[in-house]
Each structure stands twice: as C-alpha cells, then as structure tokens.
Structure 1
Amino acid sequence: MVRHAVIGVDAGGTATRCVAVSLDGRVLGAGRGGGANPFSSADPAAALEGALRAALAEAGPVEVDHAVFGIAGSAAAGRPKAEEAMLRAWAAAGLGGRPRLTDDIAVAFAAGSAADAGTVLIAGTGAVAASVRAGAVVRRCDGYGWLLGDEGSAVWLGVAGLRAVLAAIDGRGPGTALGTRLAAALGVPAGDPQAIVRAAHGRPPAMLGALAPVVAGAADDGDAVAAGIAAEAAERLLATLGAVMAAGADPLSTPPAPGSGTAPAPAPAAKAPAPVVLAGSLLASGRIADAVHAGVAARYGVRPRRAVEGARGAAGLALRDLGAPAEAHAALLEAPAG
C-alpha cells in the first residue's frame, strides 16, 4: 500500500529545513540544506533540492500529494526568484504537481498554532510581528532590516551592546562588563574604541547578531547596563507586537461614549482569544523570551505559544490545503522532535 505524504519546507538565509509528513500528522522524514533566501543565498535551488531529497530518502517510498514552501525573502520583489528556485528544486527531485509558496512569517505562525488566524512575533537575527489568516500575512509591523528596524532583534542587541561599550569608554555612559566581553567576542583589545569600530564594521550586519548571547549573558550575571539593554529589547518587541494587535482590534466592539444616547448593543458571546505565537531563537528561551512571554500574558490576557521548527508549520499548512482536519496539524506540532 502506497503511503501518502505532504512536504513542508522552511527556508531562511542560513539554513533550509524540510519534513515529509503523513496525512495524519506524523513526521516520516526530515532533511536540511543551506540557505535559500533569494537575496542572500548563493544557490537557493540547490539548497532546497538537498533538503527535499534528504527528507524523501528518510521517509522511504511515498506519494507526495502537496507541499508548502515558506521562503524568507519571498514577499513582493523576491517572489519571482523564490518561486523559480522552488520549482527548479521540485522538478529536480522528480516530484509532480505544483507546491504552494508563502513566506516564513506565515509558516512560523503555523508552527505554533493550528488555528486559521492569529498573530506571530518573530525575533532572531531580525524581528517582525504579523497578523496571519488562512496561511497568509494580512498585516505586518517592522522586519525592516538592521539599519531601519528589526527592533529588539539579536542584531539590535549586539549593536546596542557595542554602543554602550563605546559610551563607557569615552565617558558618555556608565561602566559595564560588556567592554571586556564584547571585545573578546570580536577578538580585539578591550578599551580600544577604534579597534571595536573596525571589527564591527568589518562584519556583515547579520553577524553582529552573534553578540546577542554575550549581552544576555552579562545581564544574567548582574551587569546593570546589559540588563537594561535586554529589558529594552523585550519592550521593543512587545511594542512591535502591540502595533499589530491594536490594528487587529474590531472597531465595532467599542462601547458608545457616555451620554451619547445610544443604547449599548447586547454583549456578544465570549470567545477564545486568537492565538499569539512566539518564534525565533531570541524567543525560544532566556530572559528576553521570558519577559516577552509574561508581557503578552499581562497585556493581552493570552498565554503565547512557542513555535516548533518552521518546516512543521509549512507541512501543517499543506495538510490544511488538502482539507485535513485541524487535529492532524495540531498532532504534528505536538509530536516530539526527531
């Protein structure tokens, strides 16, 4: 008897992950490849093909009924390149039919919830929040890159830490253990501002995100400056999420002003709040993740859900496209990682 399966792919600038999943939500095989962002990866099609082939090899003989690819950079101008890479990889792997392309934001939400609609906050190298409905982004906030946005992200943390170190050296700010720790991470002498500046400018901006754990570690060890930076990062992430949450509010739910003479409408039946999903390395664990988690619960009365790997979210969307019940998607999210 032929086993039927769907494929889920989550492709970022650094790595691509793929899973083959049974129609009842069991992971049959998984694979990895290089980055497949159409703007920053050397050969996106090859990365996608490698991840596809690895997942299919582990799954064994299957009939692939559908697939969803979530590819970073596939929105707007990047979509044609992403779609071309996806179709090349699909054909090279010997698969028929046409997979669906969406972005990594919608996939991240589906990696945390089987609901049809809700909100996702992603914080890793960059940072973005979005409202998602039916597997597509309907509104987003931030995600503008390190120069103009990505507030509270890993790169933002690294840059904020370096700024604090330079301020401490030249007398504009208080002393901080970050001076020694970040200099060591950059491989330069502590206390030499020009060496720090050269090292920072000599790295691609995304690489400065690797300094985020240094800042968080100093905060955990009691450094007041680092703790302040971490707290501000959490607040900025909550503000980004809040902008999306506020825009999603139903204006018809606002009660009439006192003295307006308008009788209030009967209260609608209570319904469960839409889910909020937290995704990305910065929100997986640690003090910033804990602060954001607590902030969402306190401000919106929602206990946020942490996303599993994005490839499972993409596979969940593929199951939903085929008309599979939400239970199959939910089972996929709850299964232990392979």
Structure 2
Amino acid sequence: MEGIYKGAAVGALFVGVDGGGTSTRCVVVTASGEIAGRGRAGGANAISVPDPVANLRAALLGALEGLDPTRVAGGVFGLAGSARAAEPAERAWREAGLAGRPAVVADVLVAFTGATDQPDGAVLVAGTGAIGARVRDRRVVRRADGLGWLLGDEGSGVWLGRRAAAAALHAIDGRGAPTVLVARVAEAVLGTGAPGEDDGPALTQALVAAVYARVAESGPAWLGTLAPVVDAAAREGDEVARGIVAEAARRLCRTAGVVVGEGTPARGVRAGGGGGPLVLAGSLLTEPTELAHLVRAELGRRAVLMRAGDNAAGAAALAVRSALPGDPRADEAHRVLIEQGGPWG
C-alpha cells in the first residue's frame, strides 16, 4: 500500500472509510490530519447488508459535500472481507465522481490505526460482527474469527441477538429457564409486552415469523438490534441474560488470546513487553456495556488496553502514510487524527 499516492499535490485531500455491519463512516482529511468533511450511512458489510455500494456511496458523498472532488488524491477503505469488498468499494468510488481507485484493507486494521500510531499490536472487535487480529508494521498478519454471522462472529451483536431470541423461545415452550427476555424480545420485535398465561404457542409463532421477516428484509445484521436488550437484562440481574453475556465474553477473550499471544492469552502485550497495545473496538466493547465490563476485567489484568477511536480516521491516516512514506509529517498527521483515543486506566 505504501507509495500509492506518492507525489500528491499540495492541498490534496485523502479519504478514509470505515464500513461496518451497521453503519459506514467516512472522513476527508488534509495531509496534515485536519478533517475537512464527514459522512455517514448504513452498513457496508457485503455478507450481511443487501446493498453495500449504495451506503458506501452515500457516506462518500456526505463527506465530500462542499469539497472539490478533484483534490482527492486517494483513499483507504476499511471493510470486512477486504478481498470481496474491493469491487463494491471501487464502484462506490467511481459513482461518487472520484478518480483512480481506493486501497481496501481489513476493517480490523483501521480499528487499530484509529486508536494508536504504533505499528505493532493487536485488536479485538465486537460490534455487529466479531474478529481479532494481530498487526505488525501496520499489516494484519493473523486473524481469529470474523467468519460471519452463520459460522462465527462469536460474542458479536448478531451472536447476542440470536441467543436472546432463542432464549426467549426456549422459555416460552419450556426448554429453557424463565427469563425477562420473553417480554423484552417480544416488545422489541413485536411491539408488545409480556404474554398472557395461554399465549405461548401464538407468541412463539409471532416471534418466529417476525424475526425471519426482519432478517429477510434487512439482512442478518438486524439481529444485532437485540444485543442491547440482552445486555440491559444482564445488568438488571436476569440469570439467563447474564449467562448469555458471560459466554459472549469468554468467547471474545478466547479470540483475543489467539491473536495477542499467538496461542497464549495476552503474551507479548504486557506493559514493556514490546508487542504493542491491545485495541478494543466495536460498540459492544467501547460503550459501557456489561460485555465490555467482563472483557476488560479479564483482559485488563494481562494486557495494555486501548479504546478504539475513529476507525474512519484510522483509514485516512493510512492513506496519508501511503502518500508520504517515511515522512515525519505523516506521523504527525496520524497523531492528530487519533487524539481522541488513548489507553484505559
């Protein structure tokens, strides 16, 4: 990726895009790291979103509003499944009226570079999906999970949503323990509260039909909208919800152990160990969720943790570094773009 935009004219602009399962964020920046424009649209994960090109284009156009597109010297897109995502990214780039083509890298890489200017470390993401990665010299050298909603993404929002819906259905038909998730999931999915004593079969049919219809309409990412439901129930003490969240935390920590220590949890990321920080990214780990509390408590005893900042800014920092390889101005621009990030105490 280095040197793609070397020699870009003074006054050039660079684009950074972070396309997740739920939302796409875009920033346009100067070579000094100043943000000139921002845009946001729906998700851009080709596995779980019906039309990622439209959302990528909308985010680009929003960020470029009022700016001269001919000044754009290049950009970096951070997308899940970067090999498959190159074609949608290039289509959106062209449809936004931009010349050339963007570089497409893994979404986990821009999560890492959006939090730290260090070249090495690891990142654990839990948002709509979930993945861990080891980073060396700002390149992903090892991954764990990130297999999509059907085969993996353990501990993700979609994973939590599926477990919440299943736990509610199990409680209704007697295969699972009683739980407030019955009423909470029903309210979230159907707009109704707790069922009556004889409403079990009817409620089961209504929930199943509604969940399948929502997934067919909006893609599997819709299941992630139920993640806050199970997280809130866990914080209130519901044992079934607490069990779901605890299992999610165990699975995420296992993923982190693979990429951080290449088989040994947290090896190489201790303070002073020289392996770089462990960046926690994704809304489930960066917001004050019960899942974040459990994951931080486990990994924080053994690792130097950093909270992810603006992933789109991390993508833009990579674009600037590509234009100015080895130039200290690129280092400074990177630091400017991640000022909001930092280690947890």
Q: Is 1:144 aligned to residue 144 of structure 2?
A: no
Q: Which residue of 2 aligns with 1:320?
A: 321
**Partner of residue 74 from structure 1, selected from 55, 73, 82:** 82
8 Å CA contact 2:278, 2:303 repeated in 1: no
8 Å CA contact 2:158, 2:223 repeated in 1: yes
Report matched runs for 1:296-335 at 5 Å: 296-298=299-301, 300-302=302-304, 304-321=305-322, 322-323=324-325, 324-335=329-340
Question: Relative to 1, partners in 2 of residues 1:73 and 1:168: Cα closer, same or farther, differing over 3 Å?
Answer: same
8 Å CA contact 2:57, 2:96 repeated in 1: yes
Report matched runs for 1:263-278 at 5 Å: 271-278=273-280
Question: Cα RMSD over matched residues?
Answer: 3.0
Q: Which residue of 2 aligns with 1:265?
A: none
Question: Relative to 1, partners in 2 of residues 1:47 and 1:161: Cα closer, same or farther, differing over 3 Å?
Answer: closer
The number of residues matched between the two structures is 313
Q: Which residue of 2 aligns with 1:179?
A: 182
Deviation, 1:330, is 2.1
Q: Secondary structure at the match of 2:40?
A: strand
Q: Which amino acid aligns with 2:331?
A: A
Q: Which amino acid aligns with 2:211?
A: A
Question: Relative to 1, partners in 2 of residues 1:39 and 1:161: Cα closer, same or farther, differing over 3 Å?
Answer: closer
Over residues 227-250 of structure 1, what are the superposed CA-to-partner deviations in whole Å (9 max), with x where a residue is unaligned?
A: 22212211111111112223177x
Q: Is 1:110 aligned to residue 126 of structure 2?
A: no
8 Å CA contact 1:114, 1:326 repeated in 2: yes
Q: Distance in 2 between matches of 1:311 and 1:46?
A: 18
Greater CA deviation, 42-51 or 95-104? 42-51
Q: Distance in 2 between matches of 1:42 and 1:24?
A: 36
Q: Distance in 2 between matches of 1:109 and 1:23?
A: 20
Instruction: Give structure 2 stretches of 5+ with no counterpart.
Output: 1-8
8 Å CA contact 2:28, 2:37 repeated in 1: yes
Larger Rg: 1
Superposed structure 1 runs of 4+ greater than 6 Å apart = none
Deviation, 1:282, is 1.1
Q: Distance in 1 between matches of 2:65 and 2:241?
A: 46
8 Å CA contact 2:76, 2:103 repeated in 1: yes
8 Å CA contact 2:156, 2:248 repeated in 1: yes
Greater CA deviation, 173-182 or 199-208? 199-208
Q: Is 1:167 aligned to residue 170 of structure 2?
A: yes
**Partner of residue 86 from structure 1, selected from 89, 103, 112:** 89
Q: Is 1:11 aligned to residue 13 of structure 2?
A: no
Q: Which residue of 2 aligns with 1:280?
A: 282
Question: Relative to 1, partners in 2 of residues 1:59 and 1:290: Cα closer, same or farther, differing over 3 Å?
Answer: farther
Over residues 44-77 of structure 1, what are the superposed CA-to-partner deviations in whole Å (9 max), with x where a residue is unaligned?
A: 44443333333233456883333211223323xx
Q: Secondary structure at the match of 2:12?
A: strand
8 Å CA contact 1:26, 1:335 repeated in 2: no
Over residues 144-190 of structure 1, what are the superposed CA-to-partner deviations in whole Å (9 max), with x where a residue is unaligned?
A: 22222111111221222233223333434332111211122121663
8 Å CA contact 1:109, 1:277 repeated in 2: yes
Q: Which residue of 2 aligns with 1:256?
A: none
TM-score norm. by structure 1 comes to 0.81
8 Å CA contact 1:116, 1:135 repeated in 2: yes
Deviation, 1:111, is 1.6
Q: Distance in 2 between matches of 1:197 and 1:90?
A: 39
Question: Relative to 1, partners in 2 of residues 1:56 and 1:146: Cα closer, same or farther, differing over 3 Å?
Answer: closer
Q: Which residue of 2 aligns with 1:202?
A: 213
Deviation, 1:41, is 4.8
Question: Relative to 1, partners in 2 of residues 1:59 and 1:180: Cα closer, same or farther, differing over 3 Å?
Answer: same
8 Å CA contact 1:112, 1:278 repeated in 2: no
Q: Which amino acid aligns with 2:309?
A: V
**Partner of residue 31 from structure 2, selected from 23, 29, 40:** 23
Q: Distance in 2 between matches of 1:56 and 1:88?
A: 16
